Amino acid sequence: MKSDRVVIVGAGHAASELAGALRQQRYAGPVVVLGDETRFPYHRPPLSKAFLSGEIDLEALDLKPRDSYTRVGVDVRTGARVEALDRRRKHVVLSDGSREPYRKLVLATGGRPRRLTLPGLECDRPLSNVHYLRTIEDAVRLRDQLQPGLELVVVGGGYIGLEVAATARQHGLHVTVLEALPRVLARVTAPEVSSFYAAVHRSAGVDIRTNAAIAAVEFDTSGDAVKAIRSTDGSVLPVDLLVIGVGLVPNVELAQAAGLEVENGVVVDAFGQTSDPDILAIGDCSNYPSDLYGRRVRIESVPNASAQARVAAAWICGRPAAHNAAPWFWSDQYDLKLQIVGLSEGYDSLVVRGKPEERSFMAFYLRGGRILAADAVNRPAEFMAAKRLVAEKTRLSSQDLLGDESWPLQNLHRAPVASHIG
């Protein structure tokens, strides 16, 4: 039984994609997916967008129809929490004490929201009006509390915080965003793009406060709900709802306890393999060497989970193909679709194409003439061209064409000023 059995721990995006990719790549052995949530794999991005706003319902969240797994012989088990890996005997131990043998084991355990460590908030006791957002249950609970006129404080001006702010504002809540850094989206975009997003939120009525965090929390008389917070800028804000979006902690404990190498995620090679040749790791929980950027990265995005899943399937099927896709991501806020490709860290120049005031523009990040990354706001066609420029490590001897809208971006890779490393 063990001889050709693939066991996948976690039943999220990466796991669902991997199970499908194994069958597409004609893997004939048993495939078992063990997920600790009560649901089949579902789309997480709408949890802060269309699902939170009520535009789509629960059924629309399923990644695939449930019977599509059984039809291809993939055994998805929900409510199945893996507690330990036994590498010597090659099986996993579940919380009910049962064991599942494997030939290849794939860790697709994702991550969990980083918790705020403030007196009163650090405990495991759930507070009735404090929200983190990762699962359907989190989103349902928050959605049920989004009532017009309430005071919502969002801690964290990253994607999730800003998406929640936009949705809540559209539902008529009074929204304040506290961002500890000097600008929103600071870890991923240029100051120019941050300023654009801050201005959009402010014009929608969101109170964006940067260099601000919670200094202290005041509870109501029951002690079960936050009544007010004191910000580090000294102001006191009344609170009906508190949403905390301050990042993700990768779920690496299983790997760690089993002695696998872990550093900001489970360390894998370009094929998804961990320090144990029979164990792979993919998706948000994994840390891989990026050929594109010459360093290790851990990427939290659906396209990355899918790409790594396909790479892992190819490895298991004996047709190795290294993971070298350019990471990309998207965020929907108001009428704005932001798409980001590549990692901009270390850029030395920025070229803006189009006019932010027209709510449709791009920002290109370059280092030594090479296009490292690009942000596209409401420019889906040009984003496709940008993906190619980034993936091909396009280097420009003159950057003028990038900002010149009369020059189609789709033709830029053929321009005399362009050369490609990849």
Residue 374 one-letter amino acid = A
Provide the minimum distance between the beta carbon of 256 and ligand FAD in the complex, in angstroms, as a whole number.
Answer: 12
- Closest-by-Cβ residue to ligand FAD is 12
Nearer to ligand FAD, 34 or 173 (CB): 34
Provide the minimum distance between the beta carbon of 160 and ligand FAD in the complex, in angstroms, as a whole number.
Answer: 5
Nearer to ligand FAD, 160 or 401 (CB): 160
Nearer to ligand FAD, 12 or 354 (CB): 12
Provide the minimum distance between the beta carbon of 161 and ligand FAD in the complex, in angstroms, as a whole number.
Answer: 10
Nearer to ligand FAD, 300 or 351 (CB): 300
Provide the minimum distance between the beta carbon of 188 and ligand FAD in the complex, in angstroms, as a whole number.
Answer: 12
Determine phi and psi for 67, rounding to 5 degrees.
-70, -10
Provide the minimum distance between the beta carbon of 374 and ligand FAD in the complex, in angstroms, as a whole number.
Answer: 16
Q: In what order do the strands lie in the sheet with 104-107?
A: 74-77, 31-34, 6-9, 104-107, 279-281
Nearer to ligand FAD, 7 or 389 (CB): 7
Determine phi and psi for 17, rounding to 5 degrees.
-65, -40
DSSP string, 181-244: SSSTTTTTS-HHHHHHHHHHHHHTT-EEESS--EEEEEE-TTSSSEEEEEETTS-EEE-SEEEE
Contact 153, 243 (CB under 8 A): yes
Nearer to ligand FAD, 166 or 305 (CB): 305
Provide the minimum distance between the beta carbon of 330 and ligand FAD in the complex, in angstroms, as a whole number.
Answer: 5
Binding site for ligand FAD (CB under 6 A): 9-15, 34-37, 44-45, 47-48, 81-82, 108-110, 133-134, 160, 251, 254, 283-285, 300-303, 305, 329-331
Nearest to 413 by CA among 375, 370, 380: 370
DSSP string, 297-356: E---SHHHHHHHHHHHHHHHTT------PPPEEEEEETTEEEEEEE--TT--EEEEEEEG
